[in-house]
């Protein structure tokens, strides 16, 4: 024991080289540019909330309000003078949730078919579907309005929900992700007696949860912020969505800017919270959209 102690006592400790954190001028410049860009990008949002918490009636000040008064006068007038505001928020929530549910189901099923199934003309049909992305959405409004009018759906939430049951980008996203899943799992499920619906339900759908989460977030944000088609399809104030309702707060002869600022702030608040909570899925969705087939 004494021998072992003497042996170890002769071993000199080895000092590992310390990594020195160095910052060069280019990194400092990059940080300055990023900070300035962030401030410029976030300033309109800050200006919106600053005006919303500052009592304003007819004309907002020419200089931007940098320090809000932190008063709820604008929000009180908004909820008192506009009895349909809660209806607008409810309508937007119903439309966004319904469209998101349809997208998750149909886009995933279509992506699974194009990724794993073998049928004549599969690649041709997929190219034709992708080619519709080049068509401006404004071109489809006239035939879409005529079809909805013939079915009696104009001025109802169904006019917003049914045309949004599928999305070309969602099909592309799900197809790219499902292609990366090993086909051996499907074969094993079929050997165990699963039908095609069972394979989709028990194998494909659970394994595609990251892509489904990204698709759901993209769809919800897109549906919540949609304005042009709802303003065409909806006529009655109680049927407005939040974006259309806030736009109609502007009066013909006088505009209460405090109500508009507060309404826009409440409309933007859910999306801000939504993005902060699930921003990693946004980045994951962008990364999965770039996967090769």
Q: What is the DSSP string of 171-211?
A: HHHHHHHHTTS-HHHHHHHHHTT--HHHHIIIIIHHHTHHH
In a domain, 265, yes or no: no
Of 232, 93, 272, which Cα lies nearest the Cα of 85? Answer: 93
In a domain, 27, yes or no: no
Contacts of 164 (CB under 8 A, 6+ apart): 99, 102, 103, 223
What is the chain's length? Answer: 293
pTM: 0.77
Helix or strand holding residue 252 (H, E): none
In a domain, 171, yes or no: yes
**Residue 216 and residue 293 in contact, taking contact as beta carbons nearer than 8 Å:** no
**Residue 243 and residue 226 in contact, taking contact as beta carbons nearer than 8 Å:** yes
CATH number reported for the structural domain that contains residue 103 in this entry = 1.10.3720.10
In a domain, 284, yes or no: no
In a domain, 223, yes or no: yes
Contacts of 144 (CB under 8 A, 6+ apart): 163, 229
In a domain, 78, yes or no: no
In a domain, 18, yes or no: no
Each residue's pLDDT tens digit in the chain (293 positions)?
A: 445 555 545 555 555 555 555 567 788 888 999 999 999 988 888 888 888 888 876 566 666 677 777 888 888 888 887 888 889 999 999 999 999 999 999 999 999 999 888 888 888 999 998 898 888 888 889 999 999 999 999 999 999 999 888 889 899 989 988 888 888 888 888 888 888 888 888 888 888 888 888 888 888 888 998 999 999 999 888 899 998 988 888 765 567 778 888 888 888 888 888 777 777 766 665 565 554 44
Of 197, 230, 253, 260, which Cα lies nearest the Cα of 92? Answer: 230
Q: State in Å, rounded, how far the first CA of the chain is from the last one.
A: 65
Using CA atoms, how far apart are residues 47 and 276, in angstroms rounded to an integer? 19
Domain residue limits at 147: 83-248
The total number of structural domains in the chain stands at 1
Using CA atoms, how far apart are residues 291 and 115, in angstroms rounded to an integer? 13
Of 207, 185, 179, which Cα lies nearest the Cα of 113? Answer: 179
Helix or strand holding residue 238 (H, E): none
In a domain, 132, yes or no: yes
């Amino acid at each position: 024991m004494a021998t072992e102690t003497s042996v170890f006592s002769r071993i000199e400790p080895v000092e590992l080289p310390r990594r020195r954190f160095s910052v060069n001028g280019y990194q400092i410049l990059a940080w300055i540019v990023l900070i300035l860009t962030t401030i410029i990008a976030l300033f309109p949002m800050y200006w919106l909330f600053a005006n919303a918490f500052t009592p304003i009636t007819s004309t907002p000040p020419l200089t931007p309000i940098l320090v809000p008064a932190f008063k709820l006068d604008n929000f009180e007038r908004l909820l008192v003078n506009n009895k349909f505001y809660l209806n607008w928020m409810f309508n937007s929530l119903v439309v966004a949730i319904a469209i998101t549910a349809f997208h998750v189901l149909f886009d995933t099923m279509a992506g699974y078919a194009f990724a794993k199934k073998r049928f004549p003309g599969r690649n041709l049909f997929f190219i034709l579907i992708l080619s519709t992305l080049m068509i401006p959405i404004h071109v489809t409004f006239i035939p879409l309005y005529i079809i909805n009018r013939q079915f009696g759906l104009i001025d109802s939430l169904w006019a917003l929900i049914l045309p949004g049951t599928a999305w070309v980008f969602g099909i592309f996203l799900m197809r790219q992700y499902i292609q990366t899943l090993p086909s051996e799992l499907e074969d094993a499920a079929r050997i165990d007696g699963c039908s095609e619906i069972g394979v989709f339900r028990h194998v494909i759908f659970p394994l595609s949860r990251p892509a489904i989460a990204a698709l759901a977030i993209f769809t919800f944000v897109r549906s919540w912020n949609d304005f042009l088609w709802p303003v065409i399809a909806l006529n009655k104030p109680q049927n407005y969505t939040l974006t259309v309702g806030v736009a109609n707060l502007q009066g013909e002869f006088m505009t209460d800017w405090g109500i508009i600022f507060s309404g826009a702030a409440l409309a933007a608040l859910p999306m801000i919270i939504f993005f902060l909570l699930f921003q990693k899925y946004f980045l994951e969705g962008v990364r999965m959209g770039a996967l090769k087939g």
